[in-house]
Structure 1
């Protein structure tokens, strides 16, 4: 097993003190795009929800711009990443769900940056099959990756690296930055696996976070009245649908002792496989913290009500989830410090975002997929001192569709006419306020895990129109100003008749603009069912 690739704090201090600011011959801006997996905006302290502290991520917002209405076009891991790379909607780039193949032969913005003279690298999670194209260097985790002693595919060669995945991903990113050609501009895609399920934190964080208690969202016990079939039939309730062993970290043998059946067929396997990757020292440290949690649960379980269990599982979820976020924030800090110490801060665009939003107990849920706010919205902050004033706040409807053309714009490279996103460079610099007034969304992966029904829709700054289709035909309309938690579907409310008509007209307009259609929906239903044999 290989030793961990580490740049020690001492080494970085020596490099920072001894090295003069780097003399980059090509003065075009560098790009560091940091993306975590399933990091809800609620768990970034810059957004003010008070759940946790992310001081390093917050630095990007404080020194640059914070986006309050950033959204995705398809709230699912692989499709979101395909949209990032191509600047095209899922139904155009072909990666509509986690099942369909992604065609790496199509153009993407890193390829275009390479042609324009940039060095490019991808480190961390991409969650798409095939060797990433458009990168001079890639070190990616296969599939979802593992938290402890993970496998990486480094320039096409698989190897296991000892340590904690978030720290290793940061090490690899810093190692590439250290070894790049200093005369050329660079673009680094720095993608963390965390905080994706099943939320195994680093020792330094789980020892702290398992002692914490977190505030409950006011909709934790939502009964889904006032909405349609889709919300009521989804399988992502923390009490009912979260795995006991894999997610809540109840030992499989204790589940058997207490008569708790597995939630899904991979419940116990997830626990055994994840912890089975640990070495004896890592496992001993883990057991010293989680064994007492199991013992306490064993004593309490027989007398716990469903409400007690929901509250207990919510706290367990938040403890592990937010602990994994803490390591992501550590990594962001290390990269920001590197840029500062090496004189790269002024000429480097730094982005922090997630591949989509995530439920942290709102409506009783975990996961994403829906076009509802917690899933649709994503954290986004950008720092670029040359053009973006510190403390900037952007309320415009920016999407992950816009990253590719924005980066090409900053690099002075040509933006292909078939890219569907728009550069928000002038928006964030304050040169213009002219921007789209609605965003378009699609979701395809059904029937599948969590059973979120297929849907598409649009959102403006105030209203949201959603069409659930395939095995149902239902419309939902929400007034986000009066109903920010989306508890009441007003589609059939007579007082919203004119709004409903306006939103339908705008939906038709955007489907035409982006070249979506019912034929696309049918095509991807057929291809998905063929690939999955129509099984859940």
Structure 2
């Protein structure tokens, strides 16, 4: 018997086309350009008013992404449903939460028979292509053209899986992916609308920048987060048990490129290796001489990690700029919807961490910027709660295709037109499953004001009032003043789990709290 998620692919219904503008059907359906990065935090985009946004504007880290936001719209409350690469990508393709699409952990394939949006766009007459990171096991792209990285892929001289087999391409991954997409645009059938997915590996760990940015930011101090030496005293055990601390868990050799004297990373040309030695080689010699320990070492790691992270983002921003320039040059800008996003957020030193995974704000948030001339008012900032499960329906509605019933997400097109449906969601569901970095499995919800999390292997709840505690430093799960709020949010969580059919983890409401004394003590400063 077919599962309910397989049946989603059957019996679809026609929806209003995204080419409707102010009640008039546009003569041409819009092209769709989806530029997607990996682990790009909202903190490091100038257009977002987050911790490092002002710094990024001053240093011109994301001028092209910022320009896209100025000429389009930015979603202020955009979130993922499972903060991990493969699950987020599966949610985007299927419009379903992880338990329903079959991808709960890294490198898994989407469950056979589950609907994905690329065939729906092809059926609507669109040419489709994807270049770059895929990271979905054996899941086929179902696009007209594709060249995808195997697994995580490599920053230098990466292999690509193609319709004709494996192909190695010499160069830097971000630039190669950009070139592949632009080449395809130049060779496409210009009588048809297109959807192009440009999916970058950057700025994923281990944050390897291109030589043109080796020295950029070298003499700049990046502001530290106030929680860089968080001791997790106000949280439960999950925050203490993780293995993603900059000071303790970030490696010198792989993450921070502290290599023995005279050694350079593999894959560099002689000229690039010489440039690497002039910058990282000199830096490494000074580091070895300094003999840093304790908080001084953590602070050094933070600066060097984040500079490489921003250098990778700078290269992604270059990619965005090249596509915007191409659209202008070819006369396509006015009829192309350009979308920039990333698969989840990332910790840039907040709580002393790197990586993602938790339901906490820095990893839960994901950037979402949309430019749609004639539909999205330039400079718009959309406040409703949106999630990556909404992307599939959005793409299909823009294309005038067929959206199946039963998706967990819904189209963002009404929001893009400036119309928020009366029944738009007021809470988001989240479920994390992967054992990586020692992060405990958990499910929970996010409303406009509150975050509720259940770390079910520990039988522990956490509650945060984001209006009063935006950095989520003190869980209020046991605060008498929040007892009624806690009860209401638990009931809403139970409703969401029933709505989406998620029975993985503890039964609804069945995760009793453990004593506060359980688990490890907070880390000393």
- Within a 5 Å distance, the mapping from 1:151-300 to structure 2 comes to 151-252=159-260, 275-300=265-290
Task: Structure 1: give runs of 5+ residues left out of the alignment.
Answer: 1-24, 255-270, 523-536
CA contact (8 A) 2:456 2:506 kept: no
CA contact (8 A) 2:30 2:399 kept: yes
What count of residue pairs does the alignment treat as equivalent?
A: 475
Measured against aligned partners, the alpha-carbon deviations of 1:468-526 in whole angstroms (never above 9, x if no partner) come to 012x110000000000000000010000011111101111111111111146999xxxx
Measure the CA separation in 2 of the matches of 1:306 and 1:465. Answer: 34
Shift in Å, 1:409: 1.1
Q: Does 1:436 align with 2:425?
A: yes
User: 1:445 corresponds to which residue?
Assistant: 434
User: 2:54 corresponds to which residue?
Assistant: 50
CA contact (8 A) 1:357 1:368 kept: yes
Measure the CA separation in 1 of the matches of 2:465 and 2:234. Answer: 13
SS of the residue corresponding to residue 331 of structure 2 reads coil
Q: CA RMSD in A?
A: 1.8
User: 1:502 corresponds to which residue?
Assistant: 488
Measure the CA separation in 2 of the matches of 1:173 and 1:44. Answer: 23
SS of the residue corresponding to residue 187 of structure 1 reads strand
SS of the residue corresponding to residue 369 of structure 1 reads coil
User: 1:27 corresponds to which residue?
Assistant: 28
- Larger relative helix fraction: 1
Measured against aligned partners, the alpha-carbon deviations of 1:370-396 in whole angstroms (never above 9, x if no partner) come to 000000001111000121100111111
Change in 2 beyond 3 A, CA 1:99/1:489:
same
CA contact (8 A) 2:343 2:366 kept: yes
Q: Does 1:385 align with 2:373?
A: yes
CA contact (8 A) 1:42 1:51 kept: no
User: 1:351 corresponds to which residue?
Assistant: 339
Measured against aligned partners, the alpha-carbon deviations of 1:431-464 in whole angstroms (never above 9, x if no partner) come to 2353210000010002x3x110000000100001
Shift in Å, 1:26: 7.2
Measure the CA separation in 1 of the matches of 2:315 and 2:180. Answer: 15
Measure the CA separation in 1 of the matches of 2:171 and 2:505. Answer: 47
Measure the CA separation in 2 of the matches of 1:518 and 1:173. Answer: 39
User: 1:462 corresponds to which residue?
Assistant: 449
User: 2:397 corresponds to which residue?
Assistant: 409
Shift in Å, 1:104: 5.9
Task: Structure 2: give runs of 5+ residues left out of the alignment.
Answer: 1-25, 509-525
Measure the CA separation in 2 of the matches of 1:369 and 1:316. Answer: 22
Shift in Å, 1:155: 2.4
Change in 2 beyond 3 A, CA 1:496/1:230:
same
Measure the CA separation in 1 of the matches of 2:507 and 2:158. Answer: 37
CA contact (8 A) 1:124 1:169 kept: yes
Measure the CA separation in 2 of the matches of 1:202 and 1:351. Answer: 24
Shift in Å, 1:210: 2.8
Measure the CA separation in 2 of the matches of 1:461 and 1:67. Answer: 14
Q: 2:316 aligns with which of 302, 322, 328?
A: 328
Shift in Å, 1:426: 0.8
Measure the CA separation in 2 of the matches of 1:368 and 1:432. Answer: 30
Shift in Å, 1:102: 2.9
Change in 2 beyond 3 A, CA 1:172/1:133:
same
Q: 2:140 aligns with which of 115, 132, 135?
A: 132
Shift in Å, 1:253: 6.9
Q: Does 1:89 align with 2:97?
A: yes
CA contact (8 A) 1:210 1:320 kept: no
- Within a 5 Å distance, the mapping from 1:106-121 to structure 2 comes to 106-121=114-129
Q: 2:503 aligns with which of 506, 517, 521?
A: 517
SS of the residue corresponding to residue 366 of structure 1 reads coil
Q: Does 1:476 align with 2:484?
A: no
SS of the residue corresponding to residue 108 of structure 2 reads coil
CA contact (8 A) 1:63 1:391 kept: yes
Shift in Å, 1:131: 5.9
Shift in Å, 1:211: 3.0
User: 1:427 corresponds to which residue?
Assistant: 415
Shift in Å, 1:252: 4.9
Change in 2 beyond 3 A, CA 1:519/1:377:
closer
